[in-house]
Chains A and B, each alone.
Chain A
């Protein structure tokens, strides 16, 4: 298995532009998580999905952030408009929600976002 795939790996954009981050979870995994990592705030959970349905979006910073999961193999995190304070590394993780392997999250390599 190729693991969790995120694209792009690096994104540099200007303030006010729309940014879309993409994630392909591991096949067969029914949970998907979006995290943000910064030096100041550490690792923050933004939102997670179960069977493509958003379950908890309480970590989404504000209305500028939105996430979708149109099918089991694809999710997006969108920031519109972007601001310099959104600069961070964004991780996607997936998990197979069976009792045997419960709660082992597999992380992608991340997208490093720089908003100028």
Chain B
């Protein structure tokens, strides 16, 4: 069975500091991995994805994520946090060879709070 774990309910970071939001996954075979962000009173918005190739993926708003197969992780990172990055972040996974389903499995979300 596919699953995603986001071990931190909330991450607090000071503006200008680097941030990391953690995600680990479990799938059979190779994964498709995604990060989405949700701002207050809005729907989820795609940030970035890993399909294949370079393990470091760059996405919107200066975010990046590193795929680590041995650790089954896909942590979201940003070198310098902004107050406007404060939001709810979701990691999602799908097995590349999930013949019987096209759905993504979402994590429980991590609330990022960036303090001025």
Contacts and interface: CB of A to CB of B under 8 A. Distances in A.
A105 B104 CA distance: 9
Q: Range of interface residues on chain B?
A: 10 to 19
B56 interface: no
Interface in B42-66: 42-46, 49, 51
B67 interface: no
Nearest to A107: B43
A106 interface: yes
A40 B47 CA distance: 25
A48 B103 contact: yes
B42 A109 contact: yes
Contacts of A55: 101-102
Contact of B94 (A93, A97, A103): A103
A104 B49 contact: yes
Interface of A: 4, 31, 33, 42-43, 45, 48, 50, 55-56, 91, 93, 95, 97, 102-110
Interface of B: 32, 34, 41-46, 49, 51, 90, 94, 101-104, 106, 108-109
Nearest 5 CB-CB pairings of A with B: A107-B43, A107-B44, A42-B108, A43-B106, A104-B46
